[in-house]
Each structure stands twice: as structure tokens, then as C-alpha cells.
């Protein structure tokens, strides 16, 4: 097992699996086609791409998949992309790795791993996932039906945190009792292409409701405008 995977799993993390339906083992005939597909579909909405393609790291090439592992400051990520079109990404929660940054935000003088879940960061990650899935659906790695599985893990005891300077702080502590939040959905290529950002709102809202916080959809849509087009 990868030492980085062990490190990621030791704190909060996101696990994303994207599968075109039905399963076709060699949907992408040549393994050399995989990396260029990701180069054309990776999204960069806030200064850091998803999935993160690091030009300074040699991509691992296996029998039927390629992958990378990256660990830089508070960005920890492992991804694999298969010739079947399946994509897997496991990434550490940014909020849990501030001790690897040059500094911890001043508003978090009591910071420790497992303390917070950033509201904006959560919304933006769901948005990145669905934007990426929509782009992937339009390539030879996609199909008419795309299955998306997302798990947000190690949530118990965390409180929601307003991680945007332009937003007002919450009036109460909203704390999770669940250990993980799983979300699965199958979507048509047409649905994905038409409204990936809207599709991100439902899992975001459902996750926040597990913290006993129920934000309006308009508030979330307004915050999404902070992302690049």
C-alpha cells in the first residue's frame, strides 16, 4: 500500500470514483491516450487543478491504468485512470493539512486536524467533480451514462467553518455526528453537460444537512460565482 495513501487516510479525505456505463475493458484502446484525455478535461476553477496533473512528477504507467501521487503543502492527492474509462481520486481534506503550509489562517488559532470542514472548499470540490465528470463524458472515456461515487470521510466531530473572507461567520457551531458521507448518482451525458454546477448543489446541501445546517440554494449558487468559468 502506498505510504501517501496511509497518510491521506489518517485524516479527513475525499474519495471519488467515476465510471462510464457499461463496463468496457479496453474502452480506450491505447494506454498512451489516457494522459492527454486528462490534460483536456482537468478543471482549474480556483488556482489548483482537479485532478492535479503534476508536470514535475513522472506518471506511473501500469498494465491498464496510469496514475500520479502528489504531496505539496496542504494538497495531498492520488489518482488513477483506467483504459476502461474509470477514474479514481483520493485526496486529503485541505483543512486537515494546514500544518504543512507556511502558515495557519489567523482565524484558526485553535486549529488541529479534524476540527473543521470549510463551507466554500466543500462546495467548490463538489463543483469541480461534476465539471470534470461532464468533460470526461464527452471524451472516448465517457458514455451515455456516467456513474459518480463520492465519499467524504472522517467527519465526526467536525464543525462547519466559513472559509471565505467575504462571507459572514455562522452564528452557531454546526457539528457532524456521522463518520462519513457517501453519495452516488448515475447521470446521462446530456444532464452532465447541461448543468454540472447545479448537480453539485444537491450533494453539497445533503452533506451540510448532516451538520444540521440547511443553506439556501441561492446562497450556494452565489458562492459558486467565485469560481472561474
> DSSP states of 148-193 as a string?
EEEEEE--TT-EEE---TTSPPPSS--B---SEEEEEEEEEHHHHH
pLDDT tens profile 180-220: 999 999 999 999 999 999 999 999 999 999 999 999 999 99
pLDDT tens profile 6-65: 999 999 999 999 999 999 999 999 999 999 999 999 999 999 999 999 999 999 999 999
Band of pLDDT at residue 103, cut at 50, 70 and 90: confident
CA neighbours within 13 Å on the CB side: how many for 151?
Answer: 11
User: In percent, how much of the chain has pLDDT > 70?
Assistant: 99
List the one residue out of 8, 215, 12, 45 whose CA is nearest residue 119: 215
Is the model's pLDDT at 100 over the cut of 70? yes
Find where cell 503534476 sits: 54
> What's the Cα-to-Cα distance from 19 to each of 106, 130, 198, 209, rounded to whole Å?
40, 13, 20, 27
Q: Is 18 helix (H, G, I), strand (E, B) or coil?
A: strand
Contact call for residues 80 and 16 (beta carbons, < 8 A): no
Is the model's pLDDT at 69 over the cut of 60? yes
d(CA 188, CA 196): 11
Q: Is 24 helix (H, G, I), strand (E, B) or coil?
A: coil
pLDDT at 228: 84
Mean pLDDT, the chain, rounded, equals 96
Q: Give first-to-last CA distance, the chain, whole Å.
A: 37
List the one residue out of 64, 73, 65, 39 whose CA is nearest residue 54: 39
Is the model's pLDDT at 116 over the cut of 90? yes
Q: Phi/psi at 94 (nearest 5 deg)? A: -50, -40
Is the model's pLDDT at 1 over the cut of 60? no
pLDDT at 169: 82
Is the model's pLDDT at 79 over the cut of 80? yes
Find where cell 508536470 sits: 55
The residues spanned by each domain of the chain are 3-224
pLDDT at 37: 98
Instruction: Give me the mean pLDDT over the 166-185 stretch.
Output: 93
E strand or H helix that includes residue 141: none
Amino acid at each position: 500500500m502506498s505510504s501517501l495513501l496511509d497518510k491521506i487516510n489518517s485524516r479527513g479525505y475525499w474519495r471519488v470514483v467515476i465510471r462510464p456505463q457499461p463496463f468496457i475493458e479496453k474502452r480506450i484502446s491505447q494506454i498512451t491516450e489516457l494522459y492527454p484525455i486528462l490534460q483536456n478535461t482537468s478543471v482549474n476553477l480556483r488556482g489548483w487543478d482537479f485532478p492535479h496533473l503534476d508536470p514535475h512528477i513522472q506518471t506511473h504507467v501500469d498494465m491498464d491504468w496510469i496514475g500520479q501521487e502528489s504531496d505539496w503543502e496542504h494538497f495531498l492527492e492520488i489518482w488513477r485512470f483506467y483504459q476502461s474509462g474509470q477514474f479514481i481520486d483520493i485526496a486529503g481534506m485541505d483543512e486537515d493539512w494546514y500544518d504543512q503550509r507556511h502558515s495557519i489562517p489567523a482565524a484558526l488559532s485553535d486549529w488541529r486536524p479534524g476540527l473543521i470542514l470549510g463551507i466554500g472548499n466543500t462546495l467548490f470540490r463538489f463543483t469541480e467533480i461534476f465539471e470534470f465528470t461532464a468533460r470526461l463524458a464527452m471524451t472516448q472515456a465517457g458514455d451515455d451514462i456516467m456513474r459518480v461515487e463520492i465519499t467524504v470521510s472522517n467527519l465526526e466531530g467536525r464543525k462547519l467553518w466559513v472559509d471565505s473572507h467575504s462571507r459572514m461567520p455562522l452564528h452557531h457551531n454546526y457539528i457532524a455526528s456521522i463518520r462519513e458521507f457517501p453519495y452516488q448518482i448515475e447521470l446521462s451525458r446530456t444532464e452532465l453537460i447541461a448543468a454540472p454546477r447545479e448537480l453539485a448543489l444537491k450533494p453539497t446541501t445533503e452533506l451540510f444537512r448532516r451538520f444540521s445546517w440547511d443553506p439556501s440554494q441561492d446562497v450556494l449558487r452565489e458562492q459558486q460565482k467565485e469560481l472561474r468559468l
